[in-house]
Structure 1
Amino acid sequence: MMVRNVGKTIKIKKTIVTEETVLKEKIVLINIVPEQKNISVTVDSFNESNELIQEKNINISNENYDFLFSANEIFDEGKQEGSYREQDLWKVMDSLETR
């Protein structure tokens, strides 16, 4: 192969991975399919400047779906079997992320 020296300037695209602190999370979409025992949740994450830094989709299915609708003691007082509240949804999503 022939090589030559050049002094050209070109534009390249680089992907940079950085860490940011998430200060707020917002549930923006909940899609429930009871016959498939599945809940798909879209969550937006925001930094200290209130800029959207991540959008993630979390699927709660099968045994996790059943757990969400249970009256397990992990849930705050007042949780009824067969239903869920927003705080229950957060607890299940947090537990899925730490696995």
Structure 2
Amino acid sequence: MMKREGDLIMNKTREIGISIPIYKTVTVEEVVTKEELTYINHNITENQITVGTRFFNPSGQMIKEDTVFITGDNYSLLMSDSEVFEDGKELGVIRDADLWYVIDKVRGD
């Protein structure tokens, strides 16, 4: 094929030697010393509780937020007066210690 004036000859790659910024996601393990409840949303008609928490490191810096959905058997357990809870747990009453117990159960701790 004969090259005509004005024809475009393209090479799609080139060799370069430059630095460019890139963003990478890295997962690291960090010690958590405190967890705080940020919200509790109790949907009575759907038998569901949505709990928001925040995790803090030893310096007091918040390092992660989490959402836990309590449904099904875990919801029934939390609303019960089961013997797994400390003495005095009343049917339909949610105490802090009971909520933390079920959060840990949902997470598989």
**Aligned partner (choices 40, 65, 68) of residue 58 of structure 1:** 68
Could you tell me how far apart the structure 2 residues matched to 1:72 and 1:51 are? 36
**Can you give the 5+ residue segments of structure 2 that lack an aligned partner in the other structure?**
1-10
Q: TM-score, normalized by length of structure 1?
A: 0.92
Q: TM-score, normalized by length of structure 2?
A: 0.84
Q: CA deviation at 1:2?
A: 6.0
Partner amino acid, structure 1, of 2:25: T
Name the % identity. Answer: 36
Partner amino acid, structure 1, of 2:108: T
Could you tell me how far apart the structure 2 residues matched to 1:70 and 1:19 are? 35
Partner amino acid, structure 2, of 1:83: V
- Partner SS, residue 36 of structure 1: coil
State the 4+ residue runs in structure 1 displaced beyond 6 angstroms: none
Could you tell me how far apart the structure 2 residues matched to 1:67 and 1:40 are? 15
Whether 1:94 aligns to 2:96 is no
Q: CA deviation at 1:27?
A: 0.4
Could you tell me how far apart the structure 1 residues matched to 2:72 and 2:108 are? 18
Question: What's 2:57 paired with?
Answer: 47
Could you tell me how far apart the structure 2 residues matched to 1:84 and 1:95 are? 15
Q: CA deviation at 1:88?
A: 0.3
Structure of greater Rg: 2
Whether 1:27 aligns to 2:57 is no
Q: CA deviation at 1:78?
A: 1.2
Question: What's 1:13 paired with?
Answer: 23
Q: CA deviation at 1:4?
A: 3.6
Q: CA RMSD in A?
A: 1.5
Q: Aligned residue pairs: how many?
A: 99
**Can you give the 5+ residue segments of structure 1 that lack an aligned partner in the other structure?**
none
- Partner SS, residue 89 of structure 1: helix
